[in-house]
Structure formats: structure tokens, C-alpha cells
């Protein structure tokens, strides 16, 4: 049975995101201030929806990965995206780089990884993941500007929803629904965005969605049982939309459909594989070959 | 003379029955110790599990003692690998964030049949005071090593330790049985 808190969180997220974007201010107010509705709509609606669903973030905010995701990463990326909209376009990138650099350490803060990893291993993981997030961010920013922007955000919403389902099959039942709530925030924002709106505010909304996707996948892999291959494929899925730039599809409707279908294929595939993996019967437990043991060995155990 | 005889007899009796030797330090023997638990499922049955890796040190004196016990959360074992994965995730123990469950005593007093112990239990990053009676305290000399054993049962509310997911399907109360043996240092 679907928990009421989840239904409430989803509904509230949709209403809040739609209300913030649709009621962004008078048409004669400066464009840049109106644009703030997109990052605030996605960031705030997701935060409130997650709070209603899971009761998180919980005090103290730095205690668990979910708390740090909601109380640190989401406000940080929302603030940076909002700031980027108020200034020159390049101004957002140093902030985005900062988010990419701190995202993994923030999520893994205080965990056993900090003790288990050597400085070299930690640098590789933190640096590698920051690099992946940054590359995906640049790609997504370009996609919003070169492909139908609302469709790109809708596609990202679909990937987030798929990541949420995959996470649930990977033994993180309460973390997965956050992906669906984030998907609702993104999809609602995209659907209520008028066609006349330039791509800038949608890049800001997409940035929050991307960081959310990244955080869910990192949390799923490092704190639950999400396999690295599933996480990597889901994170790389938005890149698929670039294929559509090659044949130069002229008809917008066809392009929109192609973006969504292209992204849906790997997402549905991974969700199916994760479901199948969760349903697989367990291999029998290994029986220790007792041929080499004697009662004397047993009596000496623990000494 | 008669008193001396009685005293000697009492000492022989202590040696035969293996009553606790006081004022000694012990190291927990993981092979002969177990931390098991049971949790209600749908209010109709119990699911049992255990933690396979325990460690700790303790001392027992005439006036009481001191207990420092650690359970490795990652060693949870309910016999179903998929369920164990779920229990290790942030839905429950979040073992990558909170790798150990620890108990540190603050007060140990002699009690009927054992020791009345009060201390702080830290689980899932939350520390709460708990009290229980450790029954036993008998010793045994095994291959030249003195061993002492205790056992206790206690009921914990998992929600008090921040593990409040799926209450209803799974009971809030968890009954824990802890039995351990220490080898004299």
C-alpha cells in the first residue's frame, strides 16, 4: 500500500511547483526576477514534498546522508542557480563547480568511507564523481539551449523517477520515493512553463534535478545496494539526447517524442533489471568444508 | 580451628561450582557470544536475527565492574541476504554511517543472580541510557584460561534510536538477547 505521507508529499510538491512558477510575478516585472521562480519552484517544492513524505531533514542536519542531501545540497544548488539567473550567465559556473566538488564529500560525511579510503582513493572517488557531475551539468545546460528545453527537463524528471524506483529495488525503500518527488517537481515545472520563456530558467531547474539525481545515485550506491553499473547508466541517460542533434530532426514534436523515448529505454531497462535482481532466488549458503577441522580447533577458537 | 575448616570447605565449594572471580579483566570471546533479536511481523509472528561480530572488554570487581561492548552493525544476519541488505541500508541501521552499536556501562552493582547494569547504548547514532540485569557470572577454567559468562534479555524501542521506518508492519519493540563469554586477560 502506498503511504499517505508519500501521496501528500507528491501532491504538495506538484501544487507548490506549479503555484510558484505560474504565479511568478507581474509580466511587467524584470525578467530576471521572474526567472527565480524556476529554481525556487523546483528546489522549494521538492524540499517541502520530501519533508512531508519522510520527515527529513532531521536535526542534527549532518547526521545521515538524506539529511545532508535535503538540508545542505538542495538549498546550496537552489541558491547558486538563483544567483546565476540574477547575474551574467557564466556566473553560475563557479558555483556549480563548488557544488560538484562538495556533493560527494557532503553525502558521505562521517561515514565509514572516510576512514576506509586512503587519501588517494578518496581523491579518486571525490574527484572522479565531481568530474562526472560537472560534465553532465555542462551537457545538460547545452541540451536545454539546443533541444526543446521543456522536453529536456521532462526527460530528466523521467530519469529521476526511474532512479527512485531502482533505488527501491536496491534495498533503499524510503530513499527511492525522493526520486519520484523530485521528478514531480521537475515535470510540473516543465509543464507549466510557457513556450515563450527563454531557456535560462529551465537550465536552473534542470541543474537542481541533476544534482538531485546525482545525490540519489551516490546515496544508493554507497549507503544501500545500488550497483555501480546501474547508477552509471542512469546518470549517463540524459546524454543520449545528443544523438538527436546528429540527424537534425526538424519537426519539434517528433524531436520531443524522440528525446523522451530515447531516455525512457535505458531507464525502463535498468528498473526492470533492478526488479529482476531483487526477485532472484538466493544462492544457497556456503557450507564450510569441515574436513580440515577437528574438535581441538573448535575448542581453541576465540583464544 | 572449626572456622578454618568451614572456610576451607567454602573455598573448595567456590572452586567446584565456578563462582565469579572478582577484580579481573576480561576480553569478550566472539566465538562463544551471541547477540540475537526478534522483531514482530504484522503483529502475528516473530522474525529472528543475530549479529555475528561482537567484541569488547569488561572487568568484574567485588563492588561491580565495567562493561564496554561493541556489536558490528554490518554483521546483521537474518538468514535472508536480501533482507539483510535492506536492514543495512539507511532504511534501518545505515551501517556505512553508523558501523557499530556500542554499550558503555556507567553503573554496575551486585544483584540477585548477577549484576545490575546501567549504561549508555549507542545505536544508529543515538545514545540512550538502558538498564538490565546481567545474569550469571559463573566462571570456568578451560585449558588453563579462566572464562566468565553472562546473559541478559532486554526490550528496546527502535523508534527511540531513530529507526522508525515501517512501524506497523514491523513492531517498534525489539527483544534482544545477549549472551557473552569473556576470557580473563
Model pLDDT for residues B67-115, shown as the tens digit of each residue: 999 999 999 999 988 899 999 999 999 999 999 999 999 999 988 888 9
Here the cell at position A283 is 544462492
Is B42 an 8 Å CB contact of chain A? Answer: no
A265: CB partners within 8 A, 6+ apart: none
Q: Is the pLDDT of residue A242 over 70?
A: yes
Residues of A in contact with B72 (CB under 8 A): none
Please give the pLDDT value at position B42: 95
Q: Is the pLDDT of residue B65 over 60?
A: yes
Is B68 an 8 Å CB contact of chain A? Answer: no
Instruction: Kindly determine whether residue A278 and residue B82, on different chains, have CB atoms separated by under 8 Å.
Output: yes
Please give the pLDDT value at position A26: 59
Here the cell at position B180 is 557473552
Among B29, B97, B162, the residue with its CB nearest the CB of A110 is B97
Q: Is the pLDDT of residue B13 over 90?
A: no
Any idea where the domains of chain B sit in the sequence? 24-184
Please give the pLDDT value at position A255: 81
Report the pLDDT averaged over residues A40-52. Answer: 97
Residues of B in contact with A299 (CB under 8 A): 142-143
This model of the complex carries an ipTM of: 0.83
* Percent composition of chain B: helix, strand, coil (DSSP 3-state, to 5): 20, 55, 25
Closest CA to B74 of B97, B91, B57, B56: B97
Among B85, B90, B142, the residue with its CB nearest the CB of A64 is B90
**Residues β-bridged to residue B111:** B114
Is A29 an 8 Å CB contact of chain B? Answer: no
Is B15 an 8 Å CB contact of chain A? Answer: no
Mutate to test the interface with B, among A5, A66, A217, A223 (most CBs of B within 10 A): A223
Instruction: Kindly determine whether residue A173 and residue B30, on different chains, have CB atoms separated by under 8 Å.
Output: no
Q: Is the pLDDT of residue A285 over 80?
A: no
Instruction: Kindly determine whether residue A225 and residue B89, on different chains, have CB atoms separated by under 8 Å.
Output: yes
Instruction: Kindly determine whether residue B183 and residue A302, on different chains, have CB atoms separated by under 8 Å.
Output: yes
Instruction: Kindly determine whether residue A172 and residue B89, on different chains, have CB atoms separated by under 8 Å.
Output: yes
Architecture of domain B24-184: Beta Barrel (2.40)
In angstroms, rounded to a whole number, what is the distance separating the alpha carbons of residues B26 and B55? 11
Please give the pLDDT value at position B9: 45
Half-sphere exposure of A173 (CA within 13 A, CB side): 14
Among A113, A223, A302, the residue with its CB nearest the CB of B90 is A223
Element housing B59 (H / E): strand B54-60
H helices then E strands: how many in chain A?
A: 14, 0
Residues of B in contact with A175 (CB under 8 A): 89-91
Helices (H), chain B: 2-17, 81-88
- Entry pTM: 0.87
Give the gap in angstroms from C-alpha A287 to the nearest C-alpha of chain B. 14
Q: What is the pLDDT of residues A109-161, one digit of tens each?
A: 999 999 999 999 999 999 999 999 999 999 999 999 988 999 999 999 999 99
Place of cell 574438535: A295
Instruction: Kindly determine whether residue A223 and residue B89, on different chains, have CB atoms separated by under 8 Å.
Output: yes
Closest-approach residue (CA) in chain A for B26: A303
* Cβ neighbours around B155 below 10 Å, total: 10
Report the pLDDT averaged over residues A19-25. Answer: 85
Closest CA to B25 of B146, B165, B175, B164: B146
Amino acid at each position: 500500500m502506498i503511504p499517505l505521507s508519500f501521496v501528500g508529499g507528491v501532491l504538495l510538491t506538484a501544487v507548490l511547483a506549479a503555484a510558484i512558477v505560474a504565479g511568478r510575478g507581474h509580466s511587467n516585472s524584470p525578467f530576471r526576477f521572474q526567472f527565480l521562480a524556476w529554481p525556487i519552484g523546483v528546489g522549494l517544492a521538492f524540499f517541502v514534498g520530501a519533508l512531508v513524505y519522510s520527515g527529513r531533514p532531521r536535526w542534527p542536519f549532518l547526521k545521515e546522508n538524506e539529511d545532508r542531501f535535503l538540508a545542505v545540497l538542495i538549498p546550496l544548488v537552489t541558491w547558486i542557480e538563483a544567483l546565476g539567473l540574477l547575474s551574467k550567465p557564466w556566473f553560475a559556473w563557479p558555483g556549480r563547480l563548488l557544488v560538484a566538488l562538495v556533493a560527494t564529500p557532503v553525502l558521505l560525511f562521517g561515514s565509514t568511507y572516510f576512514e576506509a579510503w586512503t587519501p588517494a582513493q578518496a581523491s579518486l572517488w571525490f574527484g572522479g564523481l565531481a568530474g562526472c557531475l560537472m560534465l553532465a551539468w555542462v551537457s545538460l545546460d547545452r541540451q536545454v539551449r539546443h533541444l526543446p528545453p521543456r522536453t529536456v527537463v521532462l526527460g530528466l524528471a523521467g530519469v529521476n523517477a526511474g532512479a527512485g524506483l531502482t533505488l527501491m529495488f536496491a534495498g533503499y525503500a524510503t530513499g527511492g520515493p525522493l526520486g519520484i518527488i523530485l521528478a514531480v517537481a521537475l515535470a510540473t515545472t516543465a509543464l507549466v512553463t510557457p513556450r515563450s520563456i527563454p531557456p535560462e530558467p529551465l537550465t536552473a531547474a534542470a541543474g537542481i534535478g541533476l544534482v538531485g539525481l546525482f545525490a540519489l545515485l551516490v546515496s544508493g550506491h554507497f549507503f544501500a545496494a545500488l550497483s555501480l553499473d546501474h547508477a552509471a547508466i542512469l546518470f549517463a541517460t540524459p546524454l543520449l539526447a545528443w544523438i538527436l542533434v546528429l540527424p537534425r530532426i526538424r519537426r519539434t514534436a517528433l524531436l520531443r517524442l524522440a528525446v523522451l523515448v530515447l531516455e525512457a529505454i535505458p531507464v525502463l531497462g535498468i528498473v526492470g533489471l533492478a526488479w529482476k535482481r531483487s526477485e532472484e532466488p538466493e544462492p544457497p549458503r556456503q557450507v564450510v568444508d569441515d574436513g580440515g577441522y577437528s574438535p581441538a580447533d573448535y575448542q581453541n577458537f576465540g583464544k | 580451628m572449626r572456622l578454618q575448616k568451614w572456610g576451607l570447605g567454602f573455598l573448595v565449594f567456590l572452586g567446584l561450582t565456578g563462582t565469579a572471580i572478582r577484580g579481573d579483566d576480561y576480553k569478550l570471546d566472539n566465538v562463544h557470544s551471541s547477540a540475537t533479536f526478534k522483531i514482530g511481523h504484522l503483529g502475528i509472528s516473530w522474525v529472528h536475527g543475530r549479529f555475528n561480530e561482537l567484541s569488547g572488554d569488561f572487568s568484574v570487581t567485588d563492588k561491580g565492574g565495567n562493561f564496554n561492548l561493541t556489536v558490528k552493525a554490518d554483521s546483521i544476519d537474518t538468514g535472508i541476504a536480501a533482507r539483510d541488505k535492506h536492514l543495512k541500508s539507511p532504511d534501518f541501521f545505515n551501517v556505512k554511517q553508523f558501523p557499530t552499536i556500542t554499550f558503555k556501562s556507567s553503573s554496575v552493582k551486585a544483584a540477585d543472580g548477577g549484576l545490575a547494569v546501567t549504561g549508555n547504548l549507542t545505536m544508529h547514532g543515538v545514545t540512550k541510557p538502558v538498564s538490565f540485569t546481567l545474569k550469571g557470572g559463573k566462571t570456568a577454567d578451560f585449558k588453563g584460561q579462566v572464562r566468565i559468562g553472562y546473559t541478559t534479555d532486554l526490550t528496546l524501542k527502535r523508534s527511540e534510536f531513530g529507526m522508525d521506518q515501517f512501524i506497523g508492519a514491523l513492531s517498534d519493540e525489539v527483544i534482544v538477547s545477549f549472551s557473552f563469554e569473556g576470557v580473563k586477560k
